[in-house]
């Protein structure tokens, strides 16, 4: 078959432009149809772009390649970010539902909720969602029986609180900047208040509706908090440089839930590895592309947590890191 015929048919250019016989055109069309039939389509949406969520997306695509689904060969990947806007997340979800890809990967709670609300029967794999049950994506952690499954970044609070007390031995007040519209953030706030109250520690919670509100919210904790704890709140994490600026100004140490925030200003973080979350996400998507039903795959949580610390940020924010904490760290950011 002439290469020019195949190329022109592939890009849907008028075949009359070249001297192709009817048989050649038929063969080329069949070849293109077969190629399209083998091509899997995955749509990816994230509520916002920041290092943790970006790592999830990249690792998921890399794992798909390891599973035999290579972007540009037999896999098409479309990515759209909502840029922190829930309304945009809903528009993206509706668009993807209409395009009917083989799988939709929804990164972050607001994007996952938007995709679920779009009402499609397309398989959905959520990722980096703190509490998929509270977010009403699934009814429990088992196989949903529906079209949704995924990987959570939920963290147990007990070791987080122990780390807080190691950083500030006489801890009495914990500051918490959060997005009222993010279920993952409000759920953590409720748990944090309950767990810390039992230990005689108060929580000073300050809402930040938008990323532009984060700096003001963090600054307002001056004199009201001995330590600031940041959860996996996408609004806050995407503006972590503002948290860092405020913490340095008011001399209150930052403790993060994701290790990617340590290079960006946190003193320490005990958190999941978002590359690992992306890898697990990719494994689930590959299972679905190979024929498994999303509803037959249980949601899962990570069971490995890394401790990252920064001596530099500790000094800037007015504390000295204990030597035993330095010895236990998986990584020290200078």
Give the pLDDT confidence of 243-272 residue by residue, as tens digits: 999 999 999 999 999 998 999 999 999 998
Left if phi > 0, otherwise alpha if psi is -120 to 50, otherwise beta: which for 12? Answer: left
Q: Which two tokens stand for residue 119?
A: 């009402």
Could you tell me the pLDDT band of residue 13, with boundaries at 50, 70 and 90?
very low
Mark whether 180 and 263 lie in a shared domain: yes
Mark whether 202 and 122 lie in a shared domain: no
Mark whether 56 and 175 lie in a shared domain: no
Mark whether 240 and 293 lie in a shared domain: no
Q: What pLDDT score was predicted for residue 148? A: 98
Q: What pLDDT score was predicted for residue 33? A: 41
Mark whether 83 and 192 lie in a shared domain: no
Q: What pLDDT score was predicted for residue 38? A: 82
pLDDT surpassing 80 at residue 16: no
Mark whether 142 and 186 lie in a shared domain: no
Residues 132-142: what's their mean pLDDT? 95
Q: What is the CATH number of the domain that holds 247?
A: 3.40.50.2300
Mark whether 202 and 324 lie in a shared domain: yes
Residues 112-138: what's their mean pLDDT? 95
Give the global pTM.
0.77
Mark whether 79 and 214 lie in a shared domain: no
Q: What pLDDT score was predicted for residue 64? A: 98
Mark whether 174 and 294 lie in a shared domain: no
Could you tell me the pLDDT band of residue 4, with boundaries at 50, 70 and 90?
very low
Residues 126-130: what's their mean pLDDT? 95
Mark whether 202 and 179 lie in a shared domain: yes
pLDDT surpassing 70 at residue 27: no
Scored b (16 or more CB within 10 A) or e, 15-54 reads beeeebeeebbebbeeeeeeeeeeebbbbbbbbbbbbbbb
pLDDT surpassing 70 at residue 37: no
State the Cα–Cα distance between residues 265 and 190, nearest whole angstrom: 25
- What are the backbone dihedrals phi and psi of residue 107, each rounded to the nearest 5 degrees, phi first? -100, 120
Q: Which helix (H) or strand (E) holds 5?
A: helix 3-10
Q: Is 332 exposed, middle or buried (0-12, 13-18, 19+ CB in 10 A)?
A: middle
N residues, the chain: 334
State the Cα–Cα distance between residues 301 and 283, nearest whole angstrom: 14
- The structural domain count of the chain equals 3
pLDDT surpassing 70 at residue 10: no
202-234 pLDDT, tens per residue?
A: 999 999 999 999 999 999 999 999 999 999 898
Mark whether 161 and 256 lie in a shared domain: yes
What is the domain extent for residue 329? 157-272+306-333
Mark whether 311 and 180 lie in a shared domain: yes
pLDDT surpassing 60 at residue 151: yes
Could you tell me the pLDDT band of residue 20, with boundaries at 50, 70 and 90?
low
């Amino acid at each position: 078959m002439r290469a020019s015929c195949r190329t022109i048919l592939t890009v849907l250019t008028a075949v009359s432009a070249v001297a192709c016989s009817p048989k050649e055109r038929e063969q080329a069309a069949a070849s293109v149809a077969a190629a399209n039939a083998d091509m899997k389509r995955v749509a990816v949406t994230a509520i916002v772009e920041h290092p943790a969520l970006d790592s999830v997306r990249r690792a998921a695509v890399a794992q798909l390649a390891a599973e035999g689904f290579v972007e540009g060969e037999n896999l098409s990947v479309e990515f759209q970010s909502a840029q922190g806007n829930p309304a945009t997340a809903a528009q993206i979800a509706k668009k993807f539902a209409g395009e009917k890809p083989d799988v939709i990967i929804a990164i972050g709670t607001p994007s996952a909720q938007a995709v679920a609300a779009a009402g499609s029967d397309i398989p959905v794999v959520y990722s980096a969602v703190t509490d998929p049950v509270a977010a009403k994506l699934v009814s429990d952690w088992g196989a949903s029986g529906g079209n949704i499954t995924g990987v959570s970044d939920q963290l147990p609070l007990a070791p987080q609180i122990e780390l807080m007390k190691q950083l500030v031995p006489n801890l009495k007040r914990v500051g918490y900047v959060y997005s009222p519209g993010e279920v993952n953030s409000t759920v953590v706030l409720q748990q944090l208040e309950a767990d810390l109250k039992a230990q005689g520690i108060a929580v000073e919670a300050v809402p930040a509706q938008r990323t532009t509100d984060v700096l003001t919210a963090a600054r307002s904790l001056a004199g009201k908090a001995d330590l600031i704890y940041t959860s996996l709140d996408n609004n806050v994490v995407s503006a972590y440089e503002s948290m860092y600026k405020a913490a340095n100004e008011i001399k209150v140490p930052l403790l993060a839930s994701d290790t990617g925030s340590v290079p960006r200003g946190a003193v320490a973080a005990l958190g999941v590895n978002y590359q690992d979350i992306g890898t697990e996400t990719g494994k689930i998507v590959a299972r679905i592309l190979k024929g498994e039903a999303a509803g037959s795959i249980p949601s899962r949580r990570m069971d490995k947590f890394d401790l990252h610390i920064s001596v530099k940020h500790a000094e800037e924010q007015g504390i000295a890191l204990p030597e035993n904490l330095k010895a236990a760290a998986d990584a020290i950011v200078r």
